[in-house]
Structure 1
Amino acid sequence: MKHIFYILFLLPILFSCQSEKAVNVYPNQVGDIELDEKLDDSNFKKCFVDPFSFQYYNFDGFQYKGEKLEIEKKLERSNLISDKNSTGYITIRFVVNCEGKTGMFRVQQMDENYKEKVFDKKFINQLLDFTKSLNGWIPQEYLGIKINYYQYLTFKIKDGKVSEILP
């Protein structure tokens, strides 16, 4: 009986001695955008590489000069139209650096049931160009330090037209 007790006592110790090097394949924060030299403008620079990612919701209100209303006015003047059968959501996520400049744009496309969908490439490029042209993003600070932050715009598409901008 003593031998069984010693074996049961030593067994966990033996297995705990096996060590594997832990490799973190996940980003620091869910949704972090990694630099992709094929997609990203080489002229866009983050002000520093930070281990913590600030998000649009860390601040009071929409961080754009004239707020969301100004973006909606600009979009209305753009008159972007796709195939009349197109309905769903197109989200464009990006980084705003400490100078208020944008880069590292990523696009996600979904149908009205939030399932992956592919919209007309020309329409996607028009929305992406529109988003890249927005130059009123307000730089932010945290504890007196200028920071980078993530922002996104979701375009709700109804019958080939943008019916709403979210958030």
Structure 2
Amino acid sequence: MKTIKSYSFFCLIIILATCSISCEKLPNEETYIPTENAFTADAHYINPETALLSDGFEVCDENFILQYYNPERATYSKGKNGLRNFILSNYKNNNYTDAGYLNIRFVINCKGEAGRYVIHENNLELEPITFTEGLKDQLFELTTQLQEWNPNFVRGAYRDTYMYISYRIEHGNITEILP
């Protein structure tokens, strides 16, 4: 029994150490010194000049947009089930045979508005593919209709956040919606 408690304590220490190492500092902290292109060089960055539906969309702090994995993250106002119900009740499989992941990445600003969309298409082995235009257009249109988001609230303020929705497609049917 003592071994299990020791092991549990050890695991907790490792988790806490990992979390403290990986935590990001916000730009307004005294020790934060951004490097040139610090935010545009990250893998999650969405270029507003090439993203879809960027015109008129504004973020609150262009120099700091939180990543997907923050402990408090932006959520759809009607919850995960509300999002799933909206998509599944409005999606029509028009004899599509596509299979893979249609990933739509975007930004939710501090006001809870969505914009700056990017589409990534992969087969079930995560290799790049191209989905049927009708399927892709339909899921993009439905995703952009999800406009009521709860923005990320971190350290006393609402923050801009990157978000994604990943649709797993098999034989043209949505089999899973992530996250």
Segments of structure 2 that go 5 or more residues without pairing to the other structure are 1-35
* Contact map agreement 2:96 2:132 (CA 8 A) in 1: no
Superposed, which structure 2 residues align to 1:88-107 within 5 Å? 88-107=100-119
Q: Secondary structure at 1:29's aligned position in 2?
A: coil
2:92 is equivalent to residue 58 of structure 1: no
Q: What TM-score, normalized by structure 1, do the two folds share?
A: 0.76
Distance 2:58 2:42 in 1: 20
Partner letter of residue 148 of structure 1? D
- Give the drift of 1:28: 4.2
Partner letter of residue 59 of structure 2? K
Partner residue in 1 for 2:62: 49
Superposed, which structure 2 residues align to 1:67-82 within 5 Å? 67-82=79-94
Query: Which residue, out of 73, 80, 99, partners 1:87?
Result: 99
Q: What TM-score, normalized by structure 2, do the two folds share?
A: 0.72
Residues 18-59 of structure 1 deviation map (CA, whole Å, 9 limit, x = unaligned): xxxxx8698242220111267333111111212x33123213
- Give the drift of 1:144: 1.8
Aligned-CA RMSD value: 2.3
Aligned length: 144
Partner residue in 1 for 2:171: 159
Partner letter of residue 138 of structure 1? N
Q: Secondary structure at 1:153's aligned position in 2?
A: strand
2:120 is equivalent to residue 108 of structure 1: yes
